[in-house]
Amino acid sequence: MPFTMSSNRGDGIEFSVVIASVESERSIEQCIRSVRDAVKGTHAEVVVVDASRDRSADIAEQSLGAERVIRYAPGTLTPDLWAVGIARSTGRVVALTTGHFAVGPAWSNVLCAGLEQGTVGVAGRVDLADDTSITDWAVFYLRYSEFLSEPEQFTRDVPGIPADNAAYEGEAIRRFVMDTGEGFWEVEFHRQLKENGGRLGVVQGAVAHYGRSFPFRTILAHRFRHGRHAGAWRVALGERSAFAVVAASPLVPALLAARTWRRVRLLGPHRARFLRALPVFVTLAASWALGEAVGALVGAPAQRRAAPVPA
């Protein structure tokens, strides 16, 4: 069924897709192709916001044209890249993903149908693509093991969704980005949304597959910086004291590994991949835990508004 949601915005864009790209030259072409197939026949816009040392942005420009690719300095985090794209979006619906995912042909229609059921944000499940490495597996299980299961039906009022495969009501997500002036940190947005009566949901049939992703050094550094933000955020909100975060940090890798094992142990292929990826998983989890402890003690890095770089 074609996407027919009406739009009151003057430019007529109904569905905006923001693809954050970090070192994604091995997967960005397939990502863009899958997204364009999914929005075919709709009033849609697709933008890539890239911060890579590799050829990701060049490949994206070949597919979308230079006007749809925004380049930022390497090291810029995915939440900051998303925020740039969200602020520039015009669609009634704004969908997010990264250059490491490929989506199915029904993706946009299914997500939009979920938003019509009284939610502000909806997501599909995530899975691993076939042609992936042990590092990819470790990243995937650390970030997405919670979202492996396909719901039997549309599920409303879930506590959280993966922004990497999600769509939101456009005005709500743009307002958040404009009001905070920071990156799009999904956990913070979801918390504020629910405090104001907003609802999140998970839909069937909008699977995104995680493909070839970051070099190990890149994801190690990003996990530390994401952890630092999380640690500072928890202390600032009063969720935990700095002492509690620091004291718990040596246990975090083992706790994350145990939680992930409970999710994958009955899923044959995932169980085997997780066990093979466990040393890399633990290393990345330790980087996150160290960052969280640093953030709890000294706060997040000073917020620097990212600036685009010339092509």
Q: What is the pLDDT of residues 118-146, one digit of tens each?
A: 999 999 999 999 999 999 999 999 999 99
For the chain, what is the radius of gyration of the CA atoms?
19
Mean pLDDT of the chain: 92
Residue type, 283: T
Q: What is the pLDDT of residues 227-237, one digit of tens each?
A: 999 999 999 98
- Assess whether pLDDT exceeds 60 at residue 223: yes
Q: What is the number of residues in the chain?
A: 311
pLDDT at 18: 98
Residue 153's pLDDT band, with cuts at 50, 70 and 90, is confident
pLDDT at 307: 59
Q: What is the pLDDT of residues 63-116, one digit of tens each?
A: 999 999 999 999 999 999 999 999 999 999 999 999 999 999 999 999 999 999
State the average pLDDT over residues 219-246: 94
Q: Residue 166: in which H helix or E strand, if any? A: strand 166-169
Q: What is the pLDDT of residues 287-303, one digit of tens each?
A: 999 999 999 999 877 65
Residue type, 185: W
Residue 69, strand partner residues: 48
pTM attached to this predicted model: 0.92
Q: What distance in Å separates the CA atoms of residue 186 and residue 173, rounded to the nearest whole number?
A: 10
Q: What distance in Å separates the CA atoms of residue 223 and residue 211, rounded to the nearest whole number?
A: 18
The full set of domains in the chain, from first to last, is 15-210 (3.90.550.10), 216-298 (no CATH)
- Assess whether pLDDT exceeds 80 at residue 256: yes
Residue 310's pLDDT band, with cuts at 50, 70 and 90, is low
pLDDT at 44: 96
Q: Which among 167, 100, 163, 164 has a CA at the least distance from the CA of 135?
A: 100
- Segment among 152-156, 243-247, 251-255 with least mean pLDDT: 152-156
